[in-house]
Amino acid sequence: MANLAQFQALENCVVSVACKQFRCLKCTKYSSNFVLHRSSCTFFLCCNSDPIIEESTRITIAPYNLGYPLIDKHMEAAKVDPSILCPSKF
């Protein structure tokens, strides 16, 4: 959990992130026939503001999917509101 989570130039990955602000830059589909019909990156996101996505293609944004015994305490300490799983425009 962080104030800002920034990802740049990722290919073919899966990330679960809880943050106040999310930024994705130049995350693109890897040019291989083996991944032709898959998204390049999937982000399971809990973000308290609209994500900033720049110069990225074929990414997937989905609701946050991580859970563990102290998650509520960690969310509170980071001042991330877990009731906002994903911004409304997604």
Rounded Cα distance between 47 and 35, Å, is 28
In the DSSP assignment, the letter for residue 65 is -
Reply yes or no on whether the pLDDT at 37 is more than 70: no
pTM above threshold 0.95: no
pLDDT in tens, 43-67: 988 888 888 999 888 888 888 888 8
